[in-house]
Amino acid sequence: RKRAEDSLLDSHHHLEALVQERTADLKRANAMLQQVQKLEAIGTLAGGIAHDFNNMLSAMIGYMELAKLETRSDRQMTYLDQALGVSNRARDMINQILIFSRHQEQERKPVLLVPLLKEGIKMLMSMLPSTIQITQNIAEKSTMILADATQIQQILMNLCTNAFHAMRDHGGILHIELVHENIKPGSKPQPLDLPAGEYAKLTVSDTGYGIEKKIINRIFDPFFTTKDPGEGTGLGLSVVYGIVRDYGGKINVVSEPGQGTAVSIHLPLIEPHIAPDLQPAEPIPLGTERILLVDDEAAVVEVGRNMLTSLGYQVTAQRSSTETLDIFRSQPDAFDLVITDMTMPHLRGDDLARELLKIRADIPIILCTGFSEMISEEKAKAIGIRSFIMKPLYRKELARAIREALNEKSAPQS
């Protein structure tokens, strides 16, 4: 009996280990599935992204050329303001794409659904062709759910790209609606069998060709697709289904061939947090300190030098990271702060920062990057870098980052 008990216990431990291993494998597979599907969605909309970005570049180039021709200063300022406004749109679009496509750990926290959806709709408007008319009816009252923001964006992107495919040939209307739905205890049975409570109901509908009755029950199956080869893997709706299920929500599809499709998602609401009062805008901070600036792009160096000089700083600008290291090594006390690009030949920005900190452990460093999988804000902080800024650089953001880096007391060295 003792041997049998020991054998049973060993078997139990072995099974527990197998279950934990299989659970970890499933989590990794699910994360990979979601990442592949995100990139597929971006790929589907790549033509729209390129089209809209080229439109933005055309507008920026046009406004700047007009500013060069104009002799009146007030007209010049108008043209430059227009060019800056268009460049802000381009920056926002790229930032949204990077956030959506980035592989990161999922973190559920209270998020306001309305601004998240509006950002997603703004991105879709720039990506989808003009043959697709986007209409919306978004409830303005506070709608807070416990979710990962990128997963909510993924739900919206997947549903809208599916709707786009259904209307791609002849165009149509894509309608996005968000309403509140209160299911009271003891109310008549719901078709989705939802527990009593407050829900956000997100509906994405299209006027496309619809779904045949014989396949509508299969649309959430992984890899099931009616698209032509090379146009999709059939992962979109299965990923949406998995996210909604994990959030304790339900999904419903109503469709008729030739009459379009409406996909509705119910997500449980949580109590909204009280938003803090908006603080008044602060003036742009200035300074007189000595800054060492390095970027391998000549135009970025020139703009950066002029921007920093306009803020009052004394600037030494370089295009070579190795020469920057030599200059700093020869006179480490000649500079109060270093601003470096991340991706440069010979010596990357993070490696340059490590070398600079070996020479002078208290030197404040700001690292700038347009996009890099090699570095994140957390990794930069771990190296000892004071501030991490995403390009393009804006004068106000750069000015604040410089003052914060200079005012921050050095952490005690171990």
pLDDT tens digits along 233-270 = 445 677 788 788 888 888 888 888 888 999 999 999 98
Most confident of 36-50, 346-360, 397-411: 346-360
Q: Is the pLDDT of residue 326 over 90?
A: yes
Please enumerate in sequence order all residues whose Cβ is within 8 A of that of 203, keeping only pairs 6 or more positions apart, or say none.
175, 176, 177, 178, 179, 262, 263, 264, 265
Quote the CA–CA distance of 24 and 326 in Å, as a whole number: 48
Q: Is the pLDDT of residue 414 over 50?
A: no
Q: Which of 233-242, 263-272, 285-294, 379-388 has the lowest mean pLDDT?
A: 233-242
Q: Is the pLDDT of residue 80 over 80?
A: yes
Structure tokens at 391: 């390009």
Q: Which of 138-142, 310-314, 335-339 has the lowest mean pLDDT?
A: 138-142
Element (H, E) at 265: strand 260-268
Structure tokens at 187: 């109310």
Assign 243 to helix, strand or coil.
helix
What is the pLDDT at residue 410?
45
Per-residue model confidence as pLDDT tens digits over 163-214: 888 898 888 999 999 998 888 876 665 667 788 888 999 999 999 988 887 7
Phi, psi of 132 (to 5 degrees): -100, 115
Q: Which of 80-94, 119-133, 253-267, 358-372 has the lowest mean pLDDT?
A: 80-94
Element (H, E) at 29: helix 2-44
What is the pLDDT at residue 373?
62
Q: Which residue has the higher pLDDT, 159 or 338?
A: 338
Quote the CA–CA distance of 325 and 373 in Å, as a whole number: 24
What is the pLDDT at residue 232?
45
Q: Is the pLDDT of residue 411 over 80?
A: no
Most confident of 38-47, 349-358, 364-373: 349-358
Residues in the chain: 414
Report the DSSP pairing between strands 250-256 and 144-147. unpaired
Confidence of residue 137 (pLDDT cuts 50, 70, 90): very high
Quote the CA–CA distance of 268 and 200 in Å, as a whole number: 6
